Amino acid sequence: MVLKLYAANRAGGGGAVVAVVLAIKRIPFEFVPTDVSAADPSTKTPELLAMQPFGQVPVIDDDGFILYESRAICLYLEQQYPSQGAKLAPDLADIRATALFNQAMSVETFNFYPFAYRVVDEVIFKPHYGGQTDPTLLSTALKDFESKLDVYEKILAKQRYTAGNSLSIVDLSHLSHAPLLARYTGIDVMTRAERPNVARVAVTEMELEAALHRRSRLQRSTATQADSPASTLIKIFLISGYTAYRLGEAKLSQHSAINWHPQRRRVSSSSHLPATVRPPSMVLKLHAANRVGGGGSVVAMVLAAKRIPFTFISTPIQPKTPGLLAMQPFGKVPIIEEEDGFRLYESRAICMYLQKKYPDQGIDLGPADPTDLRAQALFDQGLFIEATNFHPAVYRLIEEIIFKPFSGRGQDRQHLAELLHNFDSVLDAYEMVLGKQKYIGGDKLTIVDYFHLAHAPLLARICGIHIMTKPERPNVCRWWKEVVNLPQYRELLEQDGLASRKSYP
Ligand SMILES: N[C@@H](CCC(=O)N[C@@H](CS)C(=O)NCC(=O)O)C(=O)O
């Protein structure tokens, strides 16, 4: 059965990214136009909610296997068809290259997407849905987005693409919203002369042509058309800068159901994680804040669960010293450093690296079966559910309730009520997810569950808000009670931070 892509009929959002990856990988698909809007609950049909509990697109149906979260979908497609079309991710067996790829993906998820989205929302979506752009909010959003692009400029001065020296899923994920700005508003923030390296990587015609060229060389046997539907689609999305599109125009469907014969793989042997336990480095350093909460705590818990010795280096993030910025261009912690100088940042990428490097040591926190592409895909789906739905909702609450008063600003009660309502709706979707599976990454406890411990426990502990354990969400309640009682979290609470533990065990 041909793979189905449920997505909005527009050249933006995660659906467009998935369509581009399908095209580059030369995977036939049937496009099912599915327009949903956060502003209009009636667009979230029971059929969509049964597939995607958050009522969002894109979703794919691969012969009955339903998967959502655009980044997880792209990773799945790459693993399913590794040698078809251009290669868009490193081999999973190369754990350091994969770690740097995951680091870049996490940077895109947390440091690019939300900032690009805020600008697009203010200047495109708000007026599109009958509202008005607020010039003050737009100017702040643009300033914040540009400050992230300044850091991107530094990263891209050292490497050709966002995840290393070849075009990857990470670069393509940047296409979900940012290009809409130049197309619809003339704000060409991505190609400013003062950021030549960002402009260079803002996927240009030349780069795409090169990707297409590589693809056609690799795929001579399966695709011969010089101007195949895939290349047309990519040109529409990328090369022509979306000129063929307007919001809501029906174009994607013309390119659906492409008639190729992909060499489909069921199980990836190269994605087998190394079975051997390498001797843990005695001098792994963890740079993090000395507190319970945040990504540093999660990394410390995973280090403890995996029984990996480490030295904790208490690292303040203010002021942003040249030393900190040299290790982490955004000036954030946690960062790990191995004996031979290999450094990694972004807590989720760090935890995934530790699990892959020491799969059988301590508690196994990886997907149920790392050789099963679908189990891996559900783990990745959980990873991005947490990153794009749970984390932003809970973090905004913590900002309003804890950080704002802490920095002397007053609380806005109405805003707080809206944030609580928003988090409640995320947890309602979690209830559906957890009604079908035991944990967020599948039926097994994984690092994805640990990621939820970064901020959410503070709601009950510090603010007395017991939103995670409401009786009307019995599955969330069951899952959460187990997660907050994990011994590594209890231990962190008992020692009140990381400093008292210099190494483990
Ligand atoms: N993290 C998700 C985000 C999906 C998302 O926000 N999709 C938009 C369309 S591009 C949507 O469905 N919006 C409706 C809503 O959020 O209610 C992904 O990358 O797939």
DSSP reduced 3-state for 187 = coil
Instruction: Give every CB contact of residue 181 below 8 A, 6+ residues apart in sequence.
Output: 116, 119, 120, 123, 124, 187, 188, 189, 190
In this structure, is residue 330 part of a structural domain? yes
- Quote the pLDDT of residue 501: 54
Same domain flag for 74 and 221: yes
Pick from 83, 132, 103: nearest CA to 295: 103
70 lines ligand 1 (CB under 6 A): yes
Assigned domain for 362 exists: no
CA separation for the pair 172, 157 (Å, rounded): 19
Q: Output the six-digit token pair for 324.
A: 């900190």
**Cα Dmax for the chain:** 65
Return the residue matching tokens 């993906």: 105
DSSP 81: S
Identify the H or E element spanning 30: strand 29-33
The reply to whether 74 and 112 lie within a common domain is no
Do 25 and 101 have their domain in common? no
- Give residue 112 CA to ligand 1 midpoint distance, Å: 16
126 and 75 assigned to the same domain: no
Note the helical H segments in 159-241. 169-173, 178-185, 196-201, 205-218, 229-234
Side chain identity at 281, as an amino acid letter? S
pTM of the model: 0.86
The domain that contains 130 carries what CATH number?
A: 1.20.1050.10
Name which of 392, 491, 490, 369 is nearest 441 in CA terms.
Answer: 369
Q: For ligand 1, what atom is nearest to the CA of residue 56?
A: 12
> Does residue 359 sit within a domain?
no
Taking the centre of ligand 1 as the mean of its atom positions, its distance from the CA of residue 459, in whole angstroms, is 26
Is residue 334 located within the same domain as residue 413? no
* Ligand 1 pocket mutation, candidates 57, 173, 385, criterion most atoms within 8 A of CB: 57
At 314, give phi and psi (nearest 5°): -65, 120
Query: Is there a single domain that holds both residue 63 and residue 128?
Result: no
Is residue 195 domain-shared with residue 222, that is, in the same domain? Answer: no
Domain annotation covers residue 381: yes
Asked whether residue 262 is domain-assigned, the answer is no
**Same domain, yes or no, for 216 and 194?**
no
**Alpha carbon distances (Å) from 384 to 67, 268, 377:** 12, 22, 11
3-state secondary structure of 442: strand
CB 16 within 8 A of CB 10: yes
> Looking at this protein, which amino acid is placed at residue 215?
R
pLDDT in the model for residue 281? 46
> Same domain for 324 and 420?
no
Among 320, 329, 318, which residue's Cα sits nearest to residue 150? Answer: 329
The pLDDT value given to residue 134? 97
pLDDT one digit per residue (tens) for the chain, 505 residues: 899 999 998 778 999 899 989 988 999 999 999 989 888 889 999 999 999 999 999 999 999 999 999 999 999 999 999 999 899 999 999 999 999 999 999 999 999 999 999 999 999 999 988 999 999 999 999 999 999 999 999 999 999 999 999 999 999 999 999 988 988 888 989 999 999 999 988 755 445 544 444 444 333 323 333 334 344 444 434 433 332 232 223 333 343 333 233 334 443 333 333 333 344 445 899 999 988 889 999 999 999 999 999 999 999 888 899 999 999 999 999 999 999 999 999 999 999 999 999 999 999 999 999 899 999 999 999 999 999 999 999 999 999 998 887 777 777 889 999 999 999 999 999 999 999 999 999 999 999 999 999 999 999 988 899 999 999 999 999 999 999 999 999 999 988 667 655 444 3
**Is residue 358 assigned to a domain?**
no
Query: Do 489 and 385 share a domain, yes or no?
Result: yes
Domain extent, residue 320, equals 285-348
Residue 332 Cα to ligand 1 middle (Å): 27
Mutate to test the pocket of ligand 1, among 56, 125, 247, 426 (most ligand atoms within 8 A of CB): 56
Question: Alpha-carbon distance 89 to 277, whole Å?
Answer: 24
Same domain? For 304 and 331 the reply is: yes
Into how many domains does the chain fold? 4
Look at residue 223 in the predicted model and tell me its pLDDT.
Answer: 31
| 361 C-alpha to ligand 1 centroid (Å) | 37
Ligand 1 centroid to residue 59 C-alpha, Å: 10
- Asked if residue 278 belongs to a domain, the reply is no
Whether residues 429 and 475 share a domain: the answer is yes
Q: Where are the beta strands (DSSP E) in 120-203?
A: none
- Give me Rg for the CA atoms of the chain: 22
Q: Where are the alpha helices (DSSP H) in 358-410?
A: 373-385, 391-398, 404-406
Instruction: Indicate which atom in ligand 1 lies nearest the CA of residue 15.
Output: 10
State residue 291's pLDDT score: 83
Question: What's the CATH number where 293 sits?
Answer: 3.40.30.10
- Beta carbons of 231 and 42 less than 8 angstroms apart: no
Main-chain phi, psi angles of 364, to 5 degrees: -80, 115
Q: Please give the distance, rounded to the nearest whole angstrom, from the Cα atom of residue 273 to the centre of ligand 1.
A: 31
69 close to ligand 1 (CB < 6 Angstrom): yes
Q: What are phi and psi of 132, to 5 degrees?
A: -130, 140
Q: Containing H/E element for 359?
A: none
